[in-house]
Structure 1
Amino acid sequence: MFIFRIIFAATLLLTVFGCQFKGGNASEHAYIGGEIINPKNKSLLLYNNKGRIVDSILLDANNRFIYKIENLQPGLHSITHGGEYQMLLLEPNDSLMFRLNTYDFDESLVFTGEGAKKNNYLIKTYLSNEKEAKKLVKYAKMEPEVFNAFVEERRQKQLNEFHKFLEHNDESEFFKSIIEANINYNTYADKEIYPFAYFGNNKLIHIKDLPEDFFAHRKDIDYNASQLSNFFAYNRFLFSHIDNLAIDDYYKNNPYHSKFNRHAMCYNKSKLDLIDSIITEPTIKNNLLKYKAREFISYNQTEEDANALLDYYLEKTTSEEDKTYMKDLVSSLKLLRQGNPLPNIALVNYNDTEHFINSIITKPTIIYFWSSNSKSQYRNSHFMVDKLKRQFPQMDFISINVNDNDDEFWKNIINNYSFSTINEFKFKNSKQARKTLAVNYLNKAIIVNKEGLILHPNANIFSSDFNETLENLLLKKHLIVQQDAL
C-alpha cells in the first residue's frame, strides 16, 4: 500500500508538471521538477556535472518546484536540500520528476518522466552498494582467496542483472558506462579497503602476500575519469587505492616488521606524491590532494607537522579555493592544541536559550557532534554516549547538532528518539563554529578539563581504544579525584 501511494502521488505530480516539460530545443536542455515532503527549508541547490552550483531553486507553497536547465552538459548532476545529497543522471531531452521525503531521503526517492528508468536504476545500485558496504567488516574476516572470489561473483551477478535490464530498455552508452562504473568501482573499493580491515596495523606488511590476482582490477583503472569526479563509488575506490599504493614506500623506509603508522609523515607525503604523479584531471587531483592532506593535518598533534604537510600540499594543488580552505584549517587547529582554552563559541539549547560554551563547562567534558542528515551516526553517537556516561560518571557530555536547518528538524529528532534534552545544543552560527572547531568529521569529539582547557582536540568515541585513551589522559593530568579517594 505504501509503495502504491508513492507511485500514485508521483504520477499525479507528473500530470501537474507534464505540460511544462514540453517544448523548447530538446537537444540543449532538460527539465527537473517534483515535490519534497517535510522540507528542511524552502529551497534546494542544483549542481552541474563539474560540481559547480547552477542555481538555488525555490519551493512553492506546496513544496513543489519545476526548473529548466539550459545548455545542458550530459552527466552526473546533483541536488542538495538541508544537507542531504542526491545524484541525477541527466541527458538532453530528459524531463525528470521526483518525489522524496526528507525523513527517509534515499529510500523514499522515486523518479518518473523521461529519464526516470535510468535514474531509478542508478538509485537501486547505489542503495545496494550502501547496504553491502555496511557488511564489509563482516566480509573482511574471510580469507583473502574467499573474499576475492566472493566480491568478484557479486560484481558479475550485478553486471548480469544490468545487462538483462538493457535487453528491455534502450539506454545511452553514457548511462551504460555510469552504471558499470558504479558496479565495478564499488567492488574495487572493497578490495582496496580489505587489507586494512583484515591485517590491521600490526600485520599490514602482509599485504604483499595477497593472492597474485587480488589487485588485478588495477590494470583497468582510469585515474582521470572526469565524468566520475563527483561519483561516490569512484572516489571511495581512489581514496583507499592511494592509501594502499603508498604502503610500499612506507615499508621501504621502516623496519620490515614494524607496526604500521598511518599518521607517519613519510606515508602521507607519499600519498600526495602518488596523486600528483598518476592523476592529471584537475578536479579529481585537487579533491584527492585536499582530502588526503586534511586527513593528516586534522589528526596530527604538532604544529610543526601540520605546517610541513601544508607546505607540501600547497606545492601540488592548483585550486586557490582549496588553498585558502587548508590554510584556514591549519589556523583553526593551532587554537585547538592540547592545553589551549576551548574557543568560546555561542550555542543554543533545546529551549532556545543562548549560552557560550565555556559557561556550561563545570566538569571534565566530552563535546561530540551530530548531523540531522546522518541517522545512523546520530543514533550511534547518542547510544555510545549513554554507555560512556555509565562508565565515566565523573564526566559531562555536551551534544551539538551541526546543521543550520530550521530548529524544528533538530528538535523532532531529539523528541522522536527520546534523547534527553539536557546538554543538547546546536551552533548559533553553524558555518563559523564548524570552521572554528575544525569539525570536518562527525565522529570528532573534543575533550576538555573542568576549566575548559583542551585535553584532546580530535578524539573519536567509536575508536576501540577510546576508553583506555580517556582513562590515561585523565589520570595523567590528575583532573579527576578517583572515586575511592572521595
Structure 2
Amino acid sequence: MFYKYLLCCTMIASVSLGCNSNGDDSDYAFIGGEIINPKNNSVVLYNTKGKVADTFLLDGNNRFIHKITNLQSGLYSIRHGGEYQMVLLEPNDSIMFRLNTHDFDESLVFTGNGAKKNNYLIKTYIANEKEAKKLSKYAQQEPEIFSAFIEKRKEKRLNEFHSFLEQNENVETPFFKSVIEANINYNAFADKEIYPFAYFGNNKLTHIKDLPENFYLHRSIVDYNATHLSNFFSYNRFLSSNIENLATHSYYDSNPYHSKFDRHALNYNKSKLDLIDSLIADETIKNNLLKYKAIDYISHNHTELDAKKLLDYYLTKSTNEDDKVYMKELVSNLKLLRRGNPLPNLTVVNYNDSEHLLTSIISKPTIIYFWSSNYKSQYRNSHYMVKKLKSVFPDMDFISINLNDNDDKYWKKIINNYDFSKHNEFKFKDSKSSRKTLAVSYLNKAIVVDENSTILHPNVNIFRSDFHNTLEELLQKKHLVAKQDAL
C-alpha cells in the first residue's frame, strides 16, 4: 500500500516539476514519506546550517509530503523523535522515505528521483562504521603499514563509487560527487590524524615528530572552509582530530621533551582555539568547533580558575552570541558540581510514575549515568557496562536516568524490551532544566557521589579503559569501598 502511495506522490512531484522545467521556478524539490511507530506527530527538516527549516505534520496514516521552494543544493537533515538522518537534496529531486523508529538507521529506505544518491550516502555511512570497528588492530602497526592500509582502503572505496557513477549516468551531479568523495576522503584523513594518539599513547606522544615525512600528505588538499560539509560527521571528525594533532607541537614547545602528554593542560587547549581561529574562516564551522573544544575542556574536573580562563579565551574567539550564553551558563552550573559539593536535589520519576528527590534515593556510594532512547548502541552499551561494574564494585549503587522529553511509553518499552532492572531506572521530571543543572552536555558523562550525596567526581566516563582505576582511587580516598579486582 505504501509503495502505491510513493508512486502516486512521485508522479505528482514529477508532473509538477516537469511543468516548471523551463521556467524560473525550478529551484524546488519534494520530500515525503511514512514513519512506522512514530514517536510524535511531526518530522522536522533542518537546513544546511543546522537550523530548523520546516516542520511537517504526519497525517492519519503517519505520512506526509511537502514541496520545498527556493531550494539550494546541500546536505539537509530530517529528524523525528530525537533521531536524525542526513539527506542530500538538489533542485528537481522528489524523495520519499520510509523508516521504522524501532530500527531507525537500518530501516531507512529512499525511493523516487534523488533516491539513489541518498541510498549511496547511507551506504558510505555504514561502511565508515564498519571500518571504525576494524581499525584498532591496524592502529598498533608501524606508521608505514598503517598509512598503506588507509590509502588502499580509501582508493578501493573511491573506485567503487566511480564504478557506481559509470553504471548510473543520470545520477551524477557535481554536488553529489563532491559529497561522497568528501565522505570517503575525510574519513581516511581523520584516521591518519587520530593514529599517533593510539600508536604512541600519552607517554610517547613526543615521537609524533618522527612520523614519515609523507604521513600527513593529505593536509595539502584539505579545505578548512567547506561550508557545504559543515554538518557532515566525517568532515567534522577530521577537523577535530586534526586540531588535536596540530596542537601537540605547541604542547611540546612549552613542556619537557619527554614529558607525559596531558590533553587537559590549559595551554594545550588554548592552542587548539588559536588554531581553529587561524585556520578556519567560515563562521559556522569555526564557531561549532570552538564550542566543542571549549566544552571538552570545561566539562572535565578542572579548577574553577582554569575553567574561567578557558571560557574567557573562548569568548574572544567565538562570534556566536547564543553559544557564548550557553558556555557562560555551563561554567556557572559546573561551579555547583565541584568535588565536595552536595548533589543538586532534582526531581526524578521512577518506572511506576512515582516522583522522588534524587538525593532521597541515594543511600550508599553511587554512580549516576545517563542515556537517551534515541541512541540504541549507547543505551545498550551503558547498561551492559554497568552490569560488569556491579560485579566489580558490589558495594556501590548505580542509578540510570533517561534524558528524553518524549512520551514515557518509549522509555518504558526499551526497559521492557531489554529487560533492564526497573529498580534503578528513572527519568527527570523536567529533563531540559535538569540536564542544564547537571551540565549533561554528552551522554557518556557519569557522576560519582558518596552515601550522603556529596560529589566525588562530577564527570567520569564509564567506557574509558582507566575508569575502574579512577573509581577505586576515589572510593579508597574516602575509605568507602575496599579495592576490588580489576575488570
TM over 0.5: yes
Alignment check: 8 A CA contact 1:246 1:274 kept = yes
What amino acid is the match of 1:34? G
1:79 Cα offset (Å): 1.0
Structure 2: runs of 5+ lacking an equivalent: none
Alignment check: 8 A CA contact 1:44 1:57 kept = yes
What amino acid is the match of 1:214? F
What amino acid is the match of 2:109? V
- String of CA shifts for 1:310-348, please: whole Å, max 9, x gaps: 000000100001001101111111111111111111111
Paired position in structure 2 for 1:446: 447
Paired position in structure 2 for 1:371: 372
1:301-380 pair list within 5 angstroms: 301-380=302-381
1:365 Cα offset (Å): 0.7
**What is the CA–CA distance in structure 2 between the aligned matches of 1:461 and 1:95, rounded to whole Å?**
44
Paired position in structure 2 for 1:256: 257
**What is the CA–CA distance in structure 1 between the aligned matches of 2:481 and 2:198, rounded to whole Å?**
36
Q: Is 1:23 paired with 2:22?
A: no
1:210-289 pair list within 5 angstroms: 210-289=211-290
Paired position in structure 1 for 2:120: 121
**What is the CA–CA distance in structure 1 between the aligned matches of 2:151 and 2:11, rounded to whole Å?**
46
1:228 Cα offset (Å): 0.5
Paired position in structure 2 for 1:3: none
What secondary structure does 1:439 align onto?
coil
Alignment check: 8 A CA contact 2:157 2:184 kept = yes
Q: Which is worse superposed, 434-443 or 228-237?
A: 434-443
- String of CA shifts for 1:213-247, please: whole Å, max 9, x gaps: 11100000000010111111100000000000000
What amino acid is the match of 1:93? N
Paired position in structure 2 for 1:418: 419
1:481 Cα offset (Å): 7.8
Call closer, same or farther: CA 1:289–1:482 in 2, change over 3 Å. Answer: closer
- String of CA shifts for 1:356-390, please: whole Å, max 9, x gaps: 10111111111011111222211111111112112
**What is the CA–CA distance in structure 1 between the aligned matches of 2:301 and 2:475, rounded to whole Å?**
20
Paired position in structure 2 for 1:144: 143
- String of CA shifts for 1:410-458, please: whole Å, max 9, x gaps: 1111111111111101121221111111111211110011111101000
RMSD: 1.5
What amino acid is the match of 2:399? I
Paired position in structure 2 for 1:462: 463
Paired position in structure 2 for 1:12: 4
**What is the CA–CA distance in structure 2 between the aligned matches of 1:36 and 1:316, rounded to whole Å?**
42
What amino acid is the match of 1:351? N
1:45 Cα offset (Å): 1.2
**What is the CA–CA distance in structure 2 between the aligned matches of 1:439 and 1:454, rounded to whole Å?**
15
1:482 Cα offset (Å): 8.6
Structure 1: runs of 5+ lacking an equivalent: 1-8
- String of CA shifts for 1:56-91, please: whole Å, max 9, x gaps: 221112111111111111110111111111011001
- String of CA shifts for 1:455-480, please: whole Å, max 9, x gaps: 10001112222222212211212335
Q: Is 1:194 paired with 2:207?
A: no
Alignment check: 8 A CA contact 2:42 2:56 kept = yes
Alignment check: 8 A CA contact 1:263 1:300 kept = no
1:15 Cα offset (Å): 2.1
1:16 Cα offset (Å): 3.9
**What is the CA–CA distance in structure 1 between the aligned matches of 2:51 and 2:417, rounded to whole Å?**
35
**What is the CA–CA distance in structure 1 between the aligned matches of 2:410 and 2:135, rounded to whole Å?**
31
What secondary structure does 1:422 align onto?
helix
Paired position in structure 1 for 2:34: 35
Paired position in structure 2 for 1:4: none
**What is the CA–CA distance in structure 1 between the aligned matches of 2:8 and 2:408, rounded to whole Å?**
32
Residue identity over aligned pairs, in percent, reads 71
Alignment check: 8 A CA contact 1:159 1:180 kept = yes
